């Protein structure tokens, strides 16, 4: 197939990890005879430096003209003191909104090869950890109006609005139920309906939508309890369905306990336009440009791009198998290094994966 992929390298380690992700896509393209065309656009701090804004209009246009968007990372100390509208984070928030990417899929699992890195007690880890957070991505307190700052009774006061309408809840609930169908058939909806009005609506709509999916088991948990259950016994979770803010927090927690933050990919999907694929970790400015970053989360995001963005499951499987083989062969970047393994940099790790994409048995 012919496909056009828009690259948004961004800041910090973004460009170096994305370069390895692109190499892996090219390797898969060669092996399976696809013609991938890459175009590049500015986002985040890099865009602020070049044009004064974190999401230039041209970037949105280039993304919309592509079949998928492949994103590195944004942000860094250099831009931390800018006003909110110019912060690099506005770039990623803006592109999510502009492309209508309301569904964020964040898998968290233990790679058997990296079992030693897991932060959980061995008996808890032994029960397994293989879950996916389905996070709503274009609503909630992230985008709700009104928001702002003003003087109230002479005191500086800040406010944001947590807000969901039923259609926003219904469409993300459907994504969660559909996702569960391809997995272990369980959805746990996470909210704070003992306190929040938004959450009461959320729960009501999730229950209504569940009637379309009688084959799926649905449970509900408050977000505070979920945070606890994730470390107490993550094996109970299959699909976690939640809103934007709770999903932001829980997906970091789910990811870090695996011990492999540098390994986990994510996909953001909309109602039909191009999806956006990115590692869940950030721009790591402290190691930027030093060839130390782990490119595997980005390479695995490339596999999600192929599977979910371009509907090429066999090609995605090949990349994932090549990553597993690279780990099994002992290659490690610094973040996942263990005694007795081979320490490599970002580029060498990418090259090791590409070599295996070419020759691994399908
Ligand atoms: C994430 C990040 C973003 C978010 C930031 C960078 C705006 O934390 O993708 O989880 O809060 O959504
Ligand atoms: Mg986050």
Q: Which tens digits make up the pLDDT trace of 15-47?
A: 999 999 999 999 999 999 999 999 999 999 999
Biggest alpha carbon–alpha carbon distance for the chain:
69
> Exposure of 232 by Cβ count < 10 A (0-12 exposed, 13-18 middle, 19+ buried)?
exposed
Taking the C-alpha atoms of residue 245 and residue 137, their distance in angstroms, rounded to an integer, is: 9
Task: Report which protein residue has its CA nearest ligand 1's atom 8.
Answer: 248
Mean pLDDT of 324-342: 95
Mean pLDDT of 181-197: 98
Query: Is the C-beta atom of 89 inside 6 A of ligand 1?
Result: yes
For residue 162, give the nearest of 137, 149, 145, 182 by alpha carbon: 145
Mean pLDDT of the chain: 96
Taking the C-alpha atoms of residue 268 and residue 36, their distance in angstroms, rounded to an integer, is: 20
Is 119 in contact with 256 (CB distance < 8 Å)?
A: yes
Taking the C-alpha atoms of residue 39 and residue 135, their distance in angstroms, rounded to an integer, is: 28
110-114, 198-202, 222-226, 274-278 — which is least confidently predicted? 110-114
Task: Report which protein residue has its CA nearest ligand 1's atom 4.
Answer: 248
> DSSP code of 172?
H
Catalytic residues: 142, 192, 224, 248, 252
Query: Is the C-beta atom of 93 inside 6 A of ligand 1?
Result: yes
Crossing angle (nearest 10°) for helices 14-32 and 346-359: 10
Query: Is the C-beta atom of 253 inside 6 A of ligand 1?
Result: no
Q: Taking 80 as the threshold, does the pLDDT of residue 317 lie above it?
A: yes
pLDDT for residue 111: 87
Residues with CB in 5 Å of ion ligand 2: 248
* Helices marked H in 305-359: 313-328, 346-359
Q: Which tens digits make up the pLDDT trace of 67-82?
A: 999 999 999 999 999 9
Taking the C-alpha atoms of residue 324 and residue 347, their distance in angstroms, rounded to an integer, is: 17
304, β-bridge pairs? none
Query: What is the pTM for the complete model shown?
Result: 0.95
Query: Is the C-beta atom of 248 inside 6 A of ligand 1?
Result: yes
Query: Is the C-beta atom of 92 inside 6 A of ligand 1?
Result: yes
pLDDT for residue 112: 86
Mean pLDDT of 209-220: 98
> Exposure of 94 by Cβ count < 10 A (0-12 exposed, 13-18 middle, 19+ buried)?
middle
131, β-bridge pairs? 108
> How sure is the predictor about 137, in pLDDT bands with cuts at 50, 70 and 90?
very high
Q: How far is the CA of 248 from the centre of ligand 1 (A)?
A: 6
More confident residue, 297 or 1: 297
Q: Taking 80 as the threshold, does the pLDDT of residue 362 lie above it?
A: no
- β-strands 265-269, 103-109: how paired? antiparallel
Mean pLDDT of 119-143: 96
Task: Report which protein residue has its CA nearest ligand 1's atom 11.
Answer: 248
Helix (H, G, I), strand (E, B) or coil at 53: coil
Task: Report which protein residue has its CA nearest ligand 1's atom 6.
Answer: 89
Task: Report which protein residue has its CA nearest ligand 1's atom 10.
Answer: 248
Mean pLDDT of 293-307: 98
Q: Which tens digits make up the pLDDT trace of 246-272?
A: 999 999 999 999 988 889 999 999 988
Angle at 243 between CA 240 and CA 247, to 5 degrees: 60
pLDDT for residue 234: 97
Domains plus CATH for the chain? Answer: 1-106+263-362 (3.40.718.10), 119-257 (3.40.718.10)
Q: Taking 70 as the threshold, does the pLDDT of residue 231 lie above it?
A: yes
Q: How far is the CA of 248 from the centre of ligand 2 (A)?
A: 4
pLDDT for residue 355: 98
From the CA of 143, the nearest ligand is: 1
From the CA of 141, the nearest ligand is: 1
pLDDT for residue 201: 98
pLDDT for residue 60: 98
Mean pLDDT of 185-213: 98
Mean pLDDT of 304-326: 97
Q: How far is the CA of 227 from the centre of ligand 1 (A)?
A: 18
From the CA of 278, the nearest ligand is: 1
Q: Which tens digits make up the pLDDT trace of 163-180?
A: 999 999 999 999 999 999
Helix (H, G, I), strand (E, B) or coil at 8: strand
> How sure is the predictor about 84, in pLDDT bands with cuts at 50, 70 and 90?
confident
Q: Taking 90 as the threshold, does the pLDDT of residue 12 lie above it?
A: yes
pLDDT for residue 17: 98
């Amino acid at each position: 197939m012919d496909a056009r992929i828009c690259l948004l390298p961004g800041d910090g380690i973004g460009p170096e990890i994305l370069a390895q992700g692109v190499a892996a896509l090219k390797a898969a393209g060669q092996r399976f005879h696809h013609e991938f065309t890459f175009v590049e656009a500015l986002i985040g701090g890099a865009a602020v430096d070049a044009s004064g804004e974190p999401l230039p209009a041209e970037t949105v246009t280039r993304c919309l003209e592509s079949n998928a968007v492949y994103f590195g990372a944004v942000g860094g100390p250099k831009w931390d003191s800018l006003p909110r509208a110019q912060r690099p984070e506005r770039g990623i928030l803006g592109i999510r909104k502009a492309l209508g990417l309301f569904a964020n899929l964040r898998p968290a699992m233990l790679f058997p090869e990296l079992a030693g890195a897991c932060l959980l007690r061995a008996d808890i880890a032994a029960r397994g950890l293989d879950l996916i957070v389905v996070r709503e991505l274009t609503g909630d307190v992230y985008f709700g109006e009104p928001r702002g700052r003003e003087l109230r009774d002479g005191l500086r006061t800040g406010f944001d609005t947590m807000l969901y309408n039923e259609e926003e809840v219904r469409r993300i609930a459907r994504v969660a139920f559909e996702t569960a169908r391809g997995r272990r058939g369980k959805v746990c909806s996470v909210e704070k309906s003992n306190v929040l009005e938004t959450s009461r609506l959320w729960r009501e709509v999730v229950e209504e939508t569940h009637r379309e999916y009688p084959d799926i088991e649905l449970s509900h948990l408050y977000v505070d309890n979920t945070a606890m259950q994730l470390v107490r016994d993550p094996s109970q979770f299959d699909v976690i369905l939640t809103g934007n803010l709770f999903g932001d927090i829980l997906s970091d927690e789910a990811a870090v306990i695996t011990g492999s933050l540098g390994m986990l990919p994510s996909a953001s999907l909309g109602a039909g336009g191009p999806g956006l694929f990115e590692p869940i970790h950030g721009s790591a400015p402290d190691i930027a440009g030093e060839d130390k970053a782990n490119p595997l989360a980005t390479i695995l995001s490339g596999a999600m791009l192929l599977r979910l963005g371009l509907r090429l499951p066999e090609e995605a499987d090949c990349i994932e198998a090549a990553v597993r083989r690279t780990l099994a062969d002992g290659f490690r970047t610094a973040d996942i290094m263990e005694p007795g393994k081979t320490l490599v940099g970002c580029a060498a790790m990418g090259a090791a994966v590409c070599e295996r994409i070419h020759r691994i048995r399908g």
